[in-house]
Amino acid sequence: MSEVFDNSRAAGAGTGSMGAAVAAFPPHMLMMEEATRDGVPTFWVSRGQIRAVLQAVKAGGALRMLLDLTCVDERQRIHRDGLPASDFTVIYHIQSFDGPIDEVRFKVPLAADDANIASITDIWPNSNWLEREAWDLFGVVFEGHPHLSRILTPPTWVGHPLRKDHYARATERPPYTLSEDQVFDEQEALRFDPESWGMKRHSDNSDFMFLNLGPNHPSVHGVFRVVLQLEGEFIVDAVPDIGFHHRGAEKMAERQTWHSYIPYTDRIDYVGGVMNNFPYVMGVEKLAGITVPPRAQLIRIMLAEFFRISSHLVFYGTMVQDLGQLSPVFYIFTDRERVFEIIEKICGFRMHPAFFRIGGVAMDLPEGWDGEVRAFLDYLPKRLDEYNELVMKNPIFKARTKGVGVYNTEEAIDWGVTGPGLRATGLEWDYRRKAPYSGYDQIDFDIPTAVNGDCYDRAAVHIEEIRQSLRIIRYCLDNMPGGPYKAEHPLAVPPPKPRTMHDIETLIHHFVGVSWGPVIPQGEVRSCIEATKGLNQYYLVSDGGSMSYRTRIRTPSFIHLQQLPMLSRGTMIADLIAIIGSIDFVMADVDR
């Protein structure tokens, strides 16, 4: 199995990288180095040392981001030879945005009866929600956290859902009942108390007004609630409240086969479609050691870019709609309909095709696909020019968005902002270019950037990315290779059918793959892509079973939403709406 090591990444521990720098730390700071399947330098650190290590890593270079912070319940893990004893392992994933991709991972072992660790909210502000999430789902206490409370589950929830001893299905627990006392308790838990949200009721010369915006407000893009502390129409403070859309996607991954989880990923970022399949299947393929044939890779890229266009069109239309311009959203959704028509003709589905398979895609491109795609490539740029006149050059639109919701590159890195929101600050960093996956290295496209990092720039970057996606699609159209659309590999699911009736080996693989699902070799891997809204990373742990041991989904929306209070302080309600529109988040992507 070792031959499937991703060598380009394993070489990351060479000179100049963060991994090499960490390896050179004094020995008392590190417990050991672990070799992982994805080649990301991984170090075990005791909880007494983790703050010092992370501080040293952050101070070691510019633009280092806490990409992810999560936890694994290791109590039922079978294969963990040679690793430090741990019940709960807290994982920190740091990535540098200073040049080509450079990342490092730290693991901290914790015992179940003493699961607490120091908070790092003062080192990376975006660890705030990540730590709350880890506490909520695993019960790991982060000492020194300013507001350690439930974030995805309701405040009345009992237990920590991602622990292995927490039930996953309704049938594993007594039937649900709701007594009058429970109703009362739930209602009481909803009572708004500004102090518990860290807000004051009065200032020196006035009383504040608290406005509950959402969870069903026309402009919050789904079920998102933000409590505003207002002085007149000016926002003193804003506290987002999320979790209304939480479906336990990570828990579900632990009870679905590797293959049957694919449709769930579609619905994480529900305007991203197959873009969500992408990191997941790439991760599984890396674990299984499957090489995807070139045709499948380019089909994947093409579909992913179609979904990027579709998602950005939704962003464009809804943001403009939020600013009160009623018409563009109708035109833009008409264009999106054209995208869906093509996707439907290729995949048979419109929004959530679940088209990617472990080892390739579900089926080959239909006859005549190229004509459809070519017509669309000629159609959209003209429409975009029209919207440019209608929206981007509109003085009212400019007045509403320029200079509103500004952050610079350093702030973006501190808050974990990736994707168009990061590029709008002027940093030319695109995962497709800095760590090309699935064949993006062969495609020529530009990384659009802007300078001011305000709402207008974020919109402008999104729009330019649509044009770049069109370029990528044109490349796929002109250079689509022949050959199979799925890898000839025993673990590719569903397995190739033609030879099953001819040799017993293939028949067995087919039988196992279809009935139980494939058994993916033990190991762990992170798989990251430049998704529609930023970096979407799946961290998969296989314990050598037909189901995932732990699936961590790092979604851009969840991280991005966290900086809303910082952006909205001192602005007006109307600005908050523009900021919310420009952040480009989807609540399903936030809550998972």
- Rule CB under 8 A: is residue 516 a binding residue for other proteins? no
Q: Which residue lies nearer to other proteins by CB, 400 or 423?
A: 400
DSSP E strands in 123-206: the ranges are 141-143
CA distance 190 to 266: 32
Considering only 84-92, 135-143, 412-420, 567-575, which stretch makes contact with other proteins by CB under 8 A? 567-575
Residue with tokens 């064949």: 439
Q: Which residue lies nearer to other proteins by CB, 394 or 452?
A: 394
- Identify the H or E element spanning 447: none
CA distance 297 to 384: 28
CA distance 267 to 246: 12
CA dihedral sign of residues 485, 488, 489, 493:
positive
CA angle (273, 275, 279) in 5-degree steps: 135
3-state secondary structure at position 199: coil
- Rule CB under 8 A: is residue 582 a binding residue for other proteins? no
- Rule CB under 8 A: is residue 218 a binding residue for other proteins? yes
Q: Which residue lies nearer to other proteins by CB, 128 or 568?
A: 568
**Main-chain phi, psi angles of 52, to 5 degrees:** -60, -45
Site mask for other proteins (CB under 8 A), range 398-427, x = bound: -xx---------------------------
Ranges within 262-301 binding other proteins (CB under 8 A): none
- Rule CB under 8 A: is residue 575 a binding residue for other proteins? yes
CA distance 234 to 65: 31
> What does the DSSP 8-state code read for residue 534?
S
Q: Which residue lies nearer to other proteins by CB, 330 or 511?
A: 330
For the chain, how far is it from start to end, CA to CA, in angstroms? 32
Q: Which residue lies nearer to other proteins by CB, 197 or 349?
A: 197
Among 8, 156, 196, 334, binds other proteins (CB under 8 A): 334
Q: Which residue lies nearer to other proteins by CB, 86 or 219?
A: 219
Ranges within 304-333 binding other proteins (CB under 8 A): 320-327, 330-331
- Identify the H or E element spanning 264: helix 262-266
Where residue 355 falls (left for φ over 0; alpha for ψ -120 to 50; beta otherwise) is alpha
Site mask for other proteins (CB under 8 A), range 518-557, x = bound: ----------------------------------------
Six-digit token string for 404: 């509103």
Residue 401 beta carbon to other proteins: minimum distance, rounded to whole angstroms: 9
Residue 196 beta carbon to other proteins: minimum distance, rounded to whole angstroms: 20
CA distance 570 to 329: 29
CB 143 within 8 A of CB 117: yes
> What does the DSSP 8-state code read for residue 297?
H
CA distance 144 to 165: 27
Q: What is the largest CA-CA distance in the chain?
A: 85
Q: Using H for helix, E for strand and C for coil, what is the string for 9-41?
A: HHHHHCCCCHHHHHHCCCHHHCCEEECCCCCCC
Residue 452 beta carbon to other proteins: minimum distance, rounded to whole angstroms: 18
Q: Which residue lies nearer to other proteins by CB, 531 or 583?
A: 583
Residues 6+ apart with CB under 8 A from 193: none
Residue 212 beta carbon to other proteins: minimum distance, rounded to whole angstroms: 8
Q: Which residue lies nearer to other proteins by CB, 413 or 579?
A: 579
Q: Which residue lies nearer to other proteins by CB, 143 or 233?
A: 233
Residues 6+ apart with CB under 8 A from 172: none
Six-digit token string for 15: 């000179």
Residue 313 beta carbon to other proteins: minimum distance, rounded to whole angstroms: 15
Considering only 133-141, 181-189, 349-357, 572-580, which stretch makes contact with other proteins by CB under 8 A? 572-580
Q: Which residue lies nearer to other proteins by CB, 108 or 391?
A: 391
Residue 350 beta carbon to other proteins: minimum distance, rounded to whole angstroms: 19
Residue 461 beta carbon to other proteins: minimum distance, rounded to whole angstroms: 19
Ranges within 232-261 binding other proteins (CB under 8 A): 233
Q: Which residue lies nearer to other proteins by CB, 67 or 235?
A: 235
Which spans in 492-546 are helix H?
Answer: 504-515
Considering only 124-132, 270-278, 339-347, 571-579, which stretch makes contact with other proteins by CB under 8 A? 571-579
Residue 399 beta carbon to other proteins: minimum distance, rounded to whole angstroms: 6
Six-digit token string for 216: 């069903």
- Rule CB under 8 A: is residue 118 a binding residue for other proteins? no
Considering only 45-53, 217-225, 352-360, 450-458, which stretch makes contact with other proteins by CB under 8 A? 217-225
Ranges within 175-214 binding other proteins (CB under 8 A): 205, 207, 209, 211-212
Packed helices 573-583 and 294-322: angle between N→C axes, nearest 10 degrees? 170
Site mask for other proteins (CB under 8 A), range 380-399, x = bound: -----------x--x-xx-x
Q: Which residue lies nearer to other proteins by CB, 230 or 363?
A: 230
Residue 335 beta carbon to other proteins: minimum distance, rounded to whole angstroms: 11
The partner residues of 227 in beta bridges, in order of sequence, read 212, 239
Applying CB under 8 A, the residues found at the interface with other proteins are 205, 207, 209, 211-212, 217-219, 231, 233, 320-327, 330-331, 334, 391, 394, 396-397, 399-400, 572-575, 577
